[in-house]
Amino acid sequence: MTTVSKKITGGGLLAAIGLSALSPVQQAGVALSVAGAAMWASPALAQTGIPGVGLVVKKKPGNAPIVVPSDANGEVRLTGLEPGEYEVKLLGKSAPVTMEVGRDGKLAFVARRDVKGGPTPRSADPRARRALPVVREWVERCCDNTDNWDKSAFSVRDMQMPDVNTSTAEELMAGTNISRKAAAFIIEERRRGGLYKDPLDFAQRVGGSVTVDFGYSSARIGDTTIIAKGLNPKNPGFKMVKGSGVVEVYGKKHNYVGHVTLLR
């Protein structure tokens, strides 16, 4: 990670970028514009794990994605993975991180956030009083040597869950909030239009006609596995309300109308 030097601040930073000849008013404006970079020279105001956030794990090259929630500490532990390289990223965010899975099939990582800056209430400059904090979020490997794998890990290999491409109506309804009408529609659309490719294809073909709510059940939707084990009671897994144009995953909304790539 690139670090901004702590020695170049204020007027020194202005001089370093060749703007020391500007008027005091102009310099003040430039100082605010470069503050976002300079502030990272100091420690974060708060660095924490992000609880209940969705993360995407995908084997390289091109294997099916796994969407999984972080725990109360922002951590995730997976077992039963095939050895090899995986890409891990925050759901809806770019810049995946490559992580190696060994012969034991285990992978552990954490979603982190830190915050810098923010409003300065006593500043004479109104822009400083309205300044927003700079929030940074990322994923990093962790937790490999912890003792609680058996209690907290998601076993990808052993999980049983409804599958929109193979389950019967009764299987789709079991342990979920899916109605009989919605289950019948999913199966009929599958018969008529072929197997569902992924959550985006599923949402676009089904979401305009019925409400689908998997509640606290994990699910396979096309090529994607969505894990809902151990979720916060307020944040169930995959849900979409008829005609809403959005899918909710762990309580966060994702638009599926237009040119989007859902749950990738």
The string of DSSP letters for 95-161 reads --EEEEE-TT--EEEEEEEEEEE---TT-SSHHHHHPPEEEEEEEEE--TT-S-HHHH-EETTT---
Asked whether residue 52 falls in the same domain as residue 36, the answer is: no
pLDDT of amino acid 187? 98
Asked whether residue 151 falls in the same domain as residue 55, the answer is: yes
| Domain-located, residue 131 | no
Here the contacts of 200-207 (C-beta below 8 Å, separation 24 or greater) are 200/256, 200/260, 200/261, 200/262, 200/263, 202/164, 203/240, 203/247, 203/256, 203/262, 204/256, 204/257, 206/182, 206/240, 207/240, 207/242, 207/243, 207/244, 207/245, 207/247, 207/256
Asked whether residue 247 falls in the same domain as residue 195, the answer is: yes
pLDDT of amino acid 3? 37
| Domain-located, residue 99 | yes
Asked whether residue 9 falls in the same domain as residue 23, the answer is: yes
Below-50 pLDDT ranges, the chain:
1-44
Asked whether residue 221 falls in the same domain as residue 144, the answer is: no
| Domain-located, residue 160 | no
Asked whether residue 27 falls in the same domain as residue 71, the answer is: no
Q: What is the pTM of this model?
A: 0.76
Domain with 84, as residue range(s), is: 48-115+140-155
pLDDT of amino acid 153? 80
pLDDT of amino acid 14? 30
| Domain-located, residue 263 | no
| Domain-located, residue 89 | yes
Asked whether residue 173 falls in the same domain as residue 231, the answer is: yes
From 132, 155, 178, the end of a domain falls on 155
Looking at the structure of the chain, the number of domains it has is 3
Asked whether residue 144 falls in the same domain as residue 177, the answer is: no
Asked whether residue 145 falls in the same domain as residue 63, the answer is: yes
| Domain-located, residue 120 | no
pLDDT of amino acid 138? 92
pLDDT of amino acid 28? 41
| Domain-located, residue 218 | yes
Asked whether residue 33 falls in the same domain as residue 52, the answer is: no
Asked whether residue 147 falls in the same domain as residue 227, the answer is: no
